[in-house]
Amino acid sequence: MNLRLSLGMASNPRTWPILDGTVKADGIDLVPSIVHGSELFWRQLRFADFDVSEMSFSSLMMSMAHGDERWTGLPVFTTRNFFHTGMLIRKDAGINKPSDLKGKRVGVPEYQQTAALWIRGALQHEFGVEPKDMEFFMERTPSHSHGAATGFKAPEGVTVNQIPEDKSIGSMMLSGELDATLLYLVDPNLVDRSTADLWSHPDIAYLFPDRKAEGARYYNSTGLYPINHGMVVRRSIVDQEPWVMLNLLTAFQKAAKVADERRIEQTSYHAASGLISPEAAEALKKPMVTHGITANRKVLETATQYSFEQGLTSKLAKLEDIFGASTMEQ
């Protein structure tokens, strides 16, 4: 009889083969729920709703640093991005380059979230703008935030204000009460409340007008393709059934391969019709998401470094303390 485990995940092409049953984990029947990441992480950190779930890597490091032993990390990395290229600014705020963010009022859905960790790290290490140089305004409330479940306190020297519940990052960007925001979330869920379409508003612009060029520059400079979400498995299950870790990892590796094959198949149709160039078709064949510790050690260790530097964790986290022992050489 297979082991029945509940699964909480957001939906994206790399997880569809798991969610739709195309790929199954040996010996495991996964019962999936599709949940927005922002809400999912809050539910896991607060209520431990699912046996297996996607998880904010930053919040996982913080929860473990505060003694939360409910979870074992699984090195499956469902989302990655060059997050700093998505920063939004008000055109009248006098921000023409990253260094102009010094002294500015900056929104953030949740200070500790992984995307914000990476953005602050990029600002500090690439452009010389430290977190203490900005004044932050956080949207999520104490009752509906990852921070409430991980013991978040504003790092020493950093100002983090709570946005009133009758306002949001979106409304404060439009009113001029904020000069910029590290990132902006509008998908409906239980913890985020902004709804305004800032991207098409005439008063709002990207900090980096050519986002693709900045992403390429950052990658060539650092060699980093930032990881946002990993996964966790309930530790009590791992203790009783340690084999689930590699079985789950193998299943998600197969799912990533299926997603790559589907993308390549679709790409071939577009290339054959001339809708995309041969160069673009060739680039789209390259897998951008690889699971496991070995292929991602540099980016994971950079995230642990940023968490420590930014005062989110009191000591430098070790990967072997986060992830299951059987996955460390994968």
- 157 Cβ contact partners less than 8 Å away, ≥ 6 residues apart: 132
Among residues 258, 236, 218, 213, which one has the least CA distance to residue 69?
236
Global confidence as pTM: 0.95
CA distances from 101 to 190, 231, 314 (A): 30, 33, 26
1.20.59.20, 3.40.50.720, 3.40.190.10, 3.60.21.10: CATH of 3-81+226-327: 3.40.190.10
- 178 Cβ contact partners less than 8 Å away, ≥ 6 residues apart: 90, 105, 106, 107, 137, 169, 172
pLDDT at 247: 98
- Kindly list the domain boundaries of the chain, sorted by start residue: 3-81+226-327, 83-222
**Cβ atoms of 2 and 27 closer than 8 Å:** yes
Model confidence band, residue 273 (pLDDT cutoffs 50, 70, 90): confident
- 49 Cβ contact partners less than 8 Å away, ≥ 6 residues apart: 6, 8, 43
pLDDT at 278: 81
- Tens of pLDDT, residue by residue over 128-163, are 999 999 999 999 998 888 887 888 899 999 999 999
Mean per-residue pLDDT of the chain: 94
- Tens of pLDDT, residue by residue over 152-200, are 899 999 999 999 999 999 999 999 999 999 999 999 999 999 999 999 9
| Strands 88-90 vs 71-80: parallel, antiparallel or unpaired | unpaired
Same fold, 3-81+226-327 and 83-222: yes
- Tens of pLDDT, residue by residue over 8-53, are 999 988 889 999 999 999 999 999 999 999 999 999 999 999 999 9
Radius of gyration of the chain (CA): 20
| Percent of the chain surpassing pLDDT 70 | 100
Torsion-angle region of 51 (φ positive above 0: left; ψ -120 to 50: alpha; else: beta): alpha
Q: Residue 74: phi, psi to the nearest 5?
A: -115, 120
pLDDT at 76: 97
Which stretches of the chain are assigned E, i.e. beta strand?
3-9, 28-34, 52-56, 71-80, 88-90, 105-108, 135-138, 159-162, 180-181, 204-206, 227-234
pLDDT at 159: 98
- C-alpha dihedral sign at 292, 317, 57, 289: negative
CATH code given to domain 83-222: 3.40.190
